[in-house]
């Protein structure tokens, strides 16, 4: 079982691949990963079956949760309840986010 993760490694995989996110831990009770959006890149995620927490590592833009938009800034964290519509948008710089699910990534 792995206990240590280097998020920079997963960000590099995203930058050289076709997906804008990488879930590096996926267990029954917890999932974690990183999400990277280039300026103007669309966030196509759908509501999840688990509660989710986002932590902004770098970048700008907004997170829309239900009908409200929240301004993103390094160091901010956001909670999104399960089955809630949400997405990132409007970033003018590369956006890097660490995310956690209160269950598997689904």
- Number of compact structural domains in the chain: 1
Task: Examine residue 33 and state whether it is found in any structural domain, yes or no.
Answer: yes
Q: What is the pLDDT of residue 94?
A: 96
Q: Is residue 14 part of a domain?
A: yes
In a domain, 83, yes or no: yes
61 Rama class: left (phi>0) / alpha (psi -120 to 50) / beta: left
pLDDT tens-digit map of 11-51:
999 999 999 999 999 999 999 999 999 999 999 999 999 99
Q: Does a structural domain hold residue 63?
A: yes
Q: Is residue 17 part of a domain?
A: yes
Could you tell me if residue 106 is inside a domain?
no
pLDDT tens string 53-106: 999 999 999 999 999 999 999 999 999 999 999 999 999 999 999 999 999 876
Structure tokens given for 77: 């964290």
Which CATH number fits the domain that encloses residue 41? 2.60.120.10
**Is residue 60 situated within a structural domain?**
yes
> Which domain covers residue 52, as residue numbers?
7-101
User: Does 2 fall in a domain?
Assistant: no
- d(C-alpha 37, C-alpha 21), whole Å: 8
């Amino acid at each position: 079982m792995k206990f240590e993760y280097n998020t920079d490694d997963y960000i590099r995989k995203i930058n050289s691949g076709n997906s804008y996110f990488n879930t590096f831990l996926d267990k029954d009770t917890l999932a974690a990963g990183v999400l990277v959006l280039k300026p103007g890149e669309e966030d196509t995620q759908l509501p999840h079956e688990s509660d989710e927490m986002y932590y902004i590592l770098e970048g700008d833009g907004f997170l829309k949760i239900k009908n409200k938009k929240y301004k993103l800034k390094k160091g901010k964290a956001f909670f999104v309840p399960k089955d809630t519509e949400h997405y990132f948008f409007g970033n003018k710089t590369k956006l890097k986010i660490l995310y956690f699910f209160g269950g598997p990534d689904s």
